[in-house]
Each structure stands twice: as structure tokens, then as C-alpha cells.
Structure 1
Amino acid sequence: MLLYDTINLNDQEIYLHLDKTADENKEKGYVPAYYFTIIRNIDGYEVGKCDLRVGHNENTKYGGNIGYEVFEEFRGNRYASKACKLLFLLAKKHDMDKVIITCSPENIASRKTCEYSGAEFIDIVDVPPWHEMYKIGRKRTCQYVVKL
């Protein structure tokens, strides 16, 4: 995977610190990925994690191109949606024309994050039995799309 500089992934509140990258793993159906820590600018606190999975395949159809987690004490500040918007910039560098974000149908906070990020709700779909999410108990997923 051609890696792009991630130094500009910041806004007035947060920046994304690149922790690692992962190459494509065709055997597992993984696309290349970037993994970040979300850091608050004002004090340098780590407020969460996020990642961008570059490209589209059957795995990203259900698991999405973006993952995020905001640590409990920092929730409610829209850090996840701000991180998503920064990840959109990186996705554009990779010539992605859209980004898929998925979440559990009952995860209202994550669904709001998708909406705050500008994602359009597409559908709630069944996760196929071969997918890793299915194997850990997630049988349905909400699909959101952001056109870049």
C-alpha cells in the first residue's frame, strides 16, 4: 500500500496520531489499514482510537472502512465524528469515492456519530455467517455511506 503523510489529520480540537499500518491480507479478506490514537489538542490526552481501512471488498461491506472508539470519560464531545471527518481526507488521498461506516443497530451513539459525520443511512443488513462480526455475535449491521 502506498502510504500517505498523516501529519495534517487535525482540526481545532483533535489530531490523529498514527500508531501503525497494516498491509492487505488477501487470505483473510483484509484491505490495507491505518490505525490512529485520537488526541485532544488542548492537553494531549488520548481520548480514543480510530482506523481507516482502505478500499472496498466483501469484508468492508459489512465491517466498514472506518472504526472508532472513544474512551468512556470523553464521550459526548463528538470526537468520533470529528475523527471520521479527518479520516475522510485520508480516504480521498487514496482515491476512494465513498466510505462505508457500519455499526450495531442498537448502538444509538454510534448511529448518531455516523449522522454527525455526514453519512447517509443505507440499510440494516444481515451479516453473513462467514464474517468475523457474525462469529462474535453481531448478526445485523447498519450501513452508512459518505460520498467523497
Structure 2
Amino acid sequence: MKDIKLIKPSLLYQSTFLDFVKDVKESGYESYTNYVKAENNFYEFMNELIDMSEGVNIKEGWAPCSSYWLIDNNEEVIGVIRIRHRVDNDSLEMAGHIGYEIKSSKRKKGYGQRLLELGLIEARKIGLQKVLITCDEDNVASKRMIEKCKSKYKKSIFDEESGKNIIQYEVDTVYD
């Protein structure tokens, strides 16, 4: 795990990132929609990531959002975390500050936990002292990851769009 690191998106990792995107698509993650543009026009996708992180050209109702890629010692992208700089409307509250995915072949090996821990450090650098993290009520693995970060249960809410209960947790960005 010591060779795992979180990096800002880079053109150097285009091939391995696109492998990650393919895995997300094949795994049926709803978040695949975040990556469609990467498959069609990687350079435009990268420019949008930069704009989002800087708060430039953001769609109405969205918030600035910084993305990071988790890479292993083989320089393979094995995870992605997105950190919204604020949560200030109902839609963003449903999504929380942080969203993440781990490559299917790397699940249940501690990489997701490490991704979230490193992401909390980046959230602190952005200026967030506490973050709202949400997950589907039936996503046991994600619930465990969040709870291991000394989270505080906030509430469970019904998401009419997905038809699922969403659990909200509050997490300090600095913890032992």
C-alpha cells in the first residue's frame, strides 16, 4: 500500500485511465457518465477537469470539483475520487462532497479505504474541514469505508431519482 499515491489527472496516464473507464462501464457504475467524454475526446475531458477544479465554465447548480487518480506501483490508474468544493443545494447534498470508484479487480483489497483517506487529505487542502459523504444504503462496502474514517451518521434520505435510500455521513478531514 505504501506505493499507492493520489495524483492530479495527467495526459501521461491516458491509456491506463481509459482502461479504468472501460472497467467502470463494464461494472455498471452509474458514475460512468462522468467519463463518457474521456472516451470520445480525452483532451477535452482533461480541460473540463481543470476548469471544474478552478471553478471555470461550471454548469448552473454545480460546484467546483477537483478530481484525483489513485495509481499503484505499476503506474496503473486503479481508482478515482472527486471532491466538490462545496455542497450548497439539494442535488449536491444528495451527492455529497466526495464521490469515488475503484477498479473492479482491486476491490476488497484496501484500495478504496486508502483512496478515501488520501482524498480527505486533499479535501483539507481545498479548505474543507468537514465533508459530507453519501452512499446507497445497500452499498455495504462503501458504508464500511466511510465508517472507518470516524464518520458521524447524519441521516438517511430517499432519492426519488434512483428509488434508493441514501445515507449521509459527516467526516472530519483530519483524523487519526
Runs of 5+ in structure 1 lacking a partner? 1-10
- The one-character-per-residue Cα deviations of 1:46-72 (angstroms, maximum 9, x if unpaired) are 212111111121233210111111111
Alignment partners' CA distance in 2, 1:13 and 1:113: 20
- Amino acid paired to 1:123: K
TM, length-normalised to structure 2: 0.65
Is 1:121 the counterpart of 2:121 in the alignment?
Answer: no
1:126–1:140 CA contact under 8 A, matched in 2: yes
Match for residue 143 of structure 1?
A: 168
Instruction: Work out the CA distance in 2 between the residues paired with 1:44 and 1:118.
Output: 30
CA contact (8 A) 2:78 2:103 kept: yes
Cα drift, residue 43 of structure 1? 2.2
Match of 1:82 in 2: 114
Structure 2 residue ranges without an equivalent (≥5): 10-48
Which has more helix, going by share of residues?
Answer: 2
Q: Which of 99, 103, 116 is equivalent to 1:71?
A: 103
Runs (4+) off by over 3 Å = none
Q: Determine the structure 2 residue equivalent to 1:3.
A: none
- Residues paired across the two proteins, number: 129
The residue identity in structure 2 corresponding to 1:98 is K
Bigger Cα displacement from structure 2, 88-97 vs 107-116: 88-97
Q: In the alignment, is the contact (CA less than 8 A) between 1:16 and 1:83 conserved in 2?
A: yes
Residue 12 of structure 1 is matched in structure 2 by 2
TM-score calculated relative to the size of structure 1: 0.76
Among candidates 46, 60, 67, match of residue 77 of structure 2: 46
SS at structure 2 position matched to 1:85: helix
Q: Identity of aligned pairs, percent?
A: 25
Distance 1:93 1:48 in 2: 20
C-alpha separation in 1, matches of 2:172 and 2:94? 17
8 A Cα contact 1:47 1:71, kept in partner:
yes
Match of 2:64 among 8, 32, 56: 32
Match of 1:98 in 2: 130
Deviation of the 1:75 alpha carbon = 0.4
Matched, 1:60 2:50: no
Higher strand share: 1
Pair member with larger Rg = 2
1:91-114 CA-to-partner distances (Å, cap 9, x unmatched) read: 222322211110111111111111
Opposite residue 64 of structure 1, the aligned amino acid is G
Contact 1:104–1:138 under 8 Å retained in 2: no
